[in-house]
Amino acid sequence: MLVENARFANAAGTAVVADFEGVTVSFPATPGNRHYEALVAAGATPLPYVPPPPSADDVRAEASRRMQVLVGARDADHLEIIIANASREAIRLLRIGEANWTPEEAARAAALEQVDAMLEAIRAASNAMEADPPADYTDDRHWP
């Protein structure tokens, strides 16, 4: 049987993708599996796994993860709730007016502004990488 283009389908090396007589098949890399046995019988050695290049969605997910860490969110949904609550709080402070803020309100407004600036910096870094994500997009050097 003709076996071509054999390669591991994951980093753990537990699955293989190969062309058998022109048909692409994915199968577990375990003895006893008929495709794996055919691969071994053909003397084919799977090439190492090559991860796909990072996508814009990968970069966005990393940005979300970093924003979650920044504000102590449990997950992306919780992040959105925290941001919405901060926006509502900022609106209330604006309605009071800066001249009428207590020292506590002034400190809270400053904290909200600082977090907002950090969130915007993370979003800007994400936006800059999304068109052509670097392979090491999770490296801190790409993020504020």
Predicted TM-score (pTM) of the model is: 0.75
Domain of residue 36: give its range.
Answer: 3-41
Is the four-CA dihedral 30, 36, 41, 44 of positive or negative sign? negative
Give how many domains the chain has, as a whole number. Answer: 2
Same domain, 27 and 67: no
Count of C-beta atoms within a 10 Å radius of residue 120: 11
Q: Are residues 62 and 33 in the same domain?
A: no
Report if residue 50 sits inside a domain.
Answer: no
Per-residue pLDDT for the chain (144 aa), expressed as one digit of tens each?
788 999 999 999 999 999 998 999 999 999 999 999 999 999 989 999 999 999 999 999 999 999 999 999 999 999 999 999 999 999 999 999 999 999 999 999 999 999 999 999 999 999 999 999 999 999 999 999
**Domain-embedded: residue 93:** yes
DSSP state of 86: H
Residues 129, 101, single domain; the answer is yes
Residue at 27 is within a domain: yes
Phi and psi torsions of 123, nearest 5°:
-65, -40
Those residues whose C-beta lies under 8 Å from the C-beta of residue 50, and which sit 6 or more positions away, are: 7
- Same-domain check for residues 113 and 63: yes
Residue 48 lies in a domain: no
What is the distance between the alpha carbons of residues 97 and 92, in angstroms, rounded to a whole number? 9
How many residues does this entry show for the chain? 144
Does 62 lie in the same domain as 7? no
Type of residue found at 128: A
